[in-house]
Amino acid sequence: MTRDFSGQDRTTTDEVGQSAKYGSRRKYSNRSASRGPGKSILSGLNNPDMRLALDALGTDPKQRARRLLVVGEVVLDRYLWGTVERVSPEAPIPVLHLNRIDERLGNAAFVAASVRALGAEAHLLSVIGADADGQVLARLAAELGLGCDSLLQVAGRPTIVKERMLGAAQSVQRGVQQMLRVDREDVSPVDRETEAALLRRLGPEIDAADGVLVCDIDKGVLTARLLAETIRLARRQQKPVIVDPRRTDDFSIYQGATALTPNRFEAQRATGLSCAAAQDWPVAAKRLVERFDLTAALITLDRDGMFLSERSGAATHIGTTPREVYDVTGAGDVVLATFGCLWTAGVRPVDAASVANIAASLEVTKQGATVIPKNELAIALRGQGGVRRKMRSLQELGGELDRHRQRGSSICFIEGDFDLDAEHLQFLEFARTQGDVLIAGSVGADHAAPIPRVGGSAYATSHRVHLLAALEAVDYVVVDDGLEAAEIVRAIRPDVFIAGKQQTISTDMAGFVRGYGGRIVVRSMSDDNASAEIGNGNSKHDGVPATRLKVVEEPEPQRLIEDRPRS
């Protein structure tokens, strides 16, 4: 949920706040594991059986939706977004001018939301407080279609809330930075009455589920008895139990689980073995499998990817997919959701881990814990190369543009009948200078013909679309069935709408673009200097030549903390 200080409440599908256009970024690179003691290591396996993975994610309508039970602490994540323009006169601290508040599901609730986004059913077994925050959390969960019959309200125990304050220092054109986090919680174990109520709900929930995911952040809900009973009941019915463990010296509380997904430091602490170097990973992972009677252990290794050890003896290093890292929040939860969902659907552990690795690489590009849409993961799984990597349906494009906008990028859209002669190429180069991201829509000579669809017969014969996508100036080409330029503009709301002829812009379209603060730029392809900008009717730029946007030099990237304690 997003609460805007204009006085309106709105719920969005992908609730990510504004991320940094500039700021802390790091690219992960693929690394191969060297040979170490034990079994042979297969490194860099990032190409699982895509058809099986996509079927398991629910892209096949014939595939029955799996039902997963998510057990653990649910959290309400609250993000306070604002700008920082001055230092407080009361103390040497920045003053945050609050613009809006986002409220999202966190931890076990975020895991459940991620499972739901993958196409499976997700049901929660947890507790919330009898307070306003608990009501918000329950409402958000219900709106996402999560099963909340076993989300128990407990009087006298507050709903766990993590409140993050994020500010953008506009004067130095820096991106959003987290300034402070305030936690409201009671980490003591739940009382016996609450534990008994959870245990009563546990049996029927496991009976109805295909698998169980346990998200343990050590905030008092997962008592030793509840954990043991969860594992016992699931094993008795031969249903998998995948656990993202707490940071503790004692993993015996997870004895007999199907798989564990600890991070590097959790694995080190539980085994007493180093996980710093490649030769250490198979030893530590194998120790976990043998000591705690697991079928598999998947150790997440931040920049080094993941290491999977199976009871069969197979040992696999999965290299990272290179991404610009903005925020590692939620990456471990996405691994649990994706790995557990695919495992439950019958996908091989190594393939489930490979897909989870890709999902986590998408998550770290987001600001805050953000659900990865199924279509975005499907695009990453296809691993399209060449010009096809730029082609998007309108639905697929939505998630991509959200990410660009979070970084402060301006979006430009250009439509036309692109013959790709010298004049059209100059037109596209001009359009590229008007913003940060350029989307092209080829709608035919009459500006009303359908745009070809990926995979359809019309697209197969459209060499023009391939050539358009091959141009360096173009970032995306919209390819969808039956769309007109007006529909695309209304869907993506570009910051700049660029046209080659004034008459192609209807009065309604011009009014729509002006209404949300966008610009319309008209440029004659026959005259390099003839261009005019149409603003919102009050702009000083109305009717004057459009000028190139000023390019701001990026500051030196700041290094993120590569690993941080789970909390």
pLDDT tens digits for range 152-167: 999 999 999 999 998 8
320 plus 193 within the same structural domain:
yes
Domain-embedded: residue 209: yes
Residue type, 195: E
210 plus 336 within the same structural domain:
yes
Specify the 3-state DSSP secondary structure of 70. strand
Q: Give the whole-angstrom CA distance, residue 496 versus residue 95.
A: 33
Domain-embedded: residue 560: no
447 plus 516 within the same structural domain:
yes
Residue type, 88: S
Task: Look at the chain and report how many structural domains it folds into.
Answer: 2
Note the pLDDT of residue 54. 56
186 plus 317 within the same structural domain:
yes
In what helix (H) or strand (E) does residue 405 lie, and over which residues does it extend?
helix 394-406
- Cα-based distances in Å from 238 to 207, 212, 233, 258, 259: 11, 11, 9, 10, 13
Domain-embedded: residue 565: no
373 plus 413 within the same structural domain:
no
Q: Residues 133, 109: contact at Cβ < 8 Å? A: no
- Cα-based distances in Å from 517 to 6, 316, 512, 520, 538: 16, 51, 9, 10, 10
Domain boundary among 361, 382, 403: 382
- Cα-based distances in Å from 22 to 405, 430, 551: 12, 25, 13
Question: How many residues are listed for the chain in this entry?
Answer: 567
- Cα-based distances in Å from 411 to 41, 56, 393, 470: 44, 34, 16, 19
Catalytic residues: 333
Q: Give the whole-angstrom CA distance, residue 152 versus residue 128.
A: 6
Note the pLDDT of residue 424. 78
Domain-embedded: residue 33: yes
Q: Give the whole-angstrom CA distance, residue 562 versus residue 560.
A: 6
Domain boundary among 367, 382, 397: 382
Residue type, 62: K
Number of helices (H), then strands (E), belonging to the chain: the values are 16, 23
CATH code: domain of residue 341: 3.40.1190.20
Note the pLDDT of residue 304. 87
Domain-embedded: residue 542: no
Domain-embedded: residue 432: yes
281 plus 222 within the same structural domain:
yes
Per-residue pLDDT of the chain (567 residues; tens, 9 = 90+): 434 333 333 333 332 232 322 223 333 233 333 334 334 334 333 444 544 565 555 555 556 678 999 999 999 999 998 888 889 999 998 899 898 898 999 999 999 999 999 989 999 999 999 999 999 999 999 999 999 999 999 999 999 999 999 887 654 445 677 889 999 999 999 999 999 999 999 999 999 999 999 999 999 999 999 999 999 999 999 999 999 999 999 999 999 999 999 999 999 999 999 999 999 999 999 999 999 999 999 999 988 889 999 999 999 999 876 665 566 777 889 999 999 999 998 889 998 998 998 888 888 777 778 888 787 787 777 664 556 667 777 766 776 787 777 767 889 998 776 666 777 788 888 888 888 899 887 654 333 344 433 333 333 335 777 788 888 888 888 876 566 777 888 888 899 998 876 556 778 888 888 888 888 888 765 554 444 455 443 333 333 333 332 333 334 433 333 344 455
Note the pLDDT of residue 140. 96
Note the pLDDT of residue 307. 95
189 plus 209 within the same structural domain:
yes
Domain boundary among 341, 356, 382: 382
363 plus 457 within the same structural domain:
no
Note the pLDDT of residue 214. 97
Domain-embedded: residue 347: yes
Q: How far does CA 33 lie from the centroid of its chain?
A: 27
- Cα-based distances in Å from 495 to 98, 168, 498, 518, 523: 24, 21, 10, 5, 16
CATH code: domain of residue 500: 3.40.50.620
Domain-embedded: residue 94: yes
76 contact partners, CB below 8 Å, separation of at least 6? 103, 104, 105, 106, 109, 133, 134, 136, 137, 140, 159, 160, 161, 162
368 plus 390 within the same structural domain:
no
Note the pLDDT of residue 388. 65
Domain housing 393: 386-534
Token pair 């993000």: residue: 79
35 plus 146 within the same structural domain:
yes
282 plus 418 within the same structural domain:
no
495 plus 425 within the same structural domain:
yes
Note the pLDDT of residue 550. 30
